[in-house]
A and B are shown apart, each in its own frame.
Chain A
Amino acid sequence: QVQLVESGGGVVQPGRSLRLSCAASGFAFSGYAMHWVRQAPGNGLEWVAVISSDGSNKYYGDSAKGRFTISRDNSKNTLYLQMNSLRAEDTAIYYCSRGPRGYDSHLDYWGQGMLVTVSS
């Protein structure tokens, strides 16, 4: 069965960096675009970024542009989100998800989410 498991979250000070990982299993990871979506406490969903199946194309939401970098290692079936210059407003649960249609896709499987708290 498809499984997506995030790791790497925690508490970080404003201005610092953090890297999230998402380990995928149960499907041909290298054949799918992958997305990050976040959800601030008590709030709705916000799309963060997408990466193509081969990693050659990446797109970001406005809140992530210039600070976050999405990447993947298909040999390890793992998706990453490097987050730099973190701000309090980046505090959220971060979900990795699979996009069966590529960049412009619904999201058919989601990880359980990883909480990132930006606080001094």
Chain B
Amino acid sequence: EIVLTQSPGTLSLSPGERATLSCRASQSVDSSYFAWYQQKPGQAPRLLIYGASSRATGIPDRFSGSGSGTDFTLSISRLEPEDFAVYYCQQYGRSPVTFGGGTKVEIK
């Protein structure tokens, strides 16, 4: 199976700063089959990005995704208070679907 490794494990930033989250795959992933999710405590995950770079419905344009092959990035241009959460990457191009271990974005 494809293992997704997210880094860093925790990102400590202040509101207004830029966040850059990384996800590295153990094998090449078709970028059409790559997604990012946000999860807040006590809530279900929420789809942010699919197809590596397409924003889901209702997602603000401060969120952007990029990457190809084995390296993918989620960027948040200016952190808002509601953006502090855990973020997961997902690949769904090869069975089984796999998720990364998550990056927690916390308030510095």
Write the residues of chain A forming the contact surface with B, with a CB cutoff of 8 angstroms: 35, 37, 44-47, 50, 59, 61-62, 95, 101, 103-113
Contact = CB atoms under 8 A, between A and B. Distances in A.
Contacts, number: 58
Interface residues of B, number: 25
A61 B98 CA distance: 9
22 contacts: A44-B102, A45-B37, A45-B45, A45-B99, A46-B99, A50-B97, A59-B95, A62-B96, A103-B95, A104-B33, A104-B92, A104-B95, A105-B92, A106-B35, A107-B45, A107-B47, A108-B47, A108-B57, A110-B45, A111-B44, A112-B44, A113-B44
Contacts of B96: 47, 59, 61-62
Interface string B31-58: 0010101000001111100110000110
Given A61-B96, A107-B47, 20 more contacts: A44-B88, A44-B99, A44-B100, A45-B37, A47-B96, A47-B97, A47-B98, A59-B96, A62-B96, A101-B92, A103-B95, A104-B93, A104-B97, A106-B47, A106-B50, A106-B90, A106-B92, A110-B44, A110-B46, A112-B43
Nearest to B93: A104
B44 A108 contact: no
A99 B38 CA distance: 17
B67 interface: no
Nearest 8 Cβ contacts at the A-B interface: A106-B50, A110-B44, A47-B97, A106-B35, A45-B99, A61-B96, A44-B101, A104-B92
Contacts of B97: 35, 47, 50, 61, 104
Which among B33, B97, B101 has the greatest number of chain A C-beta atoms within 10 A? B97
A108 B45 contact: no
A47 B93 CA distance: 13
B86 to A, nearest CB: 9
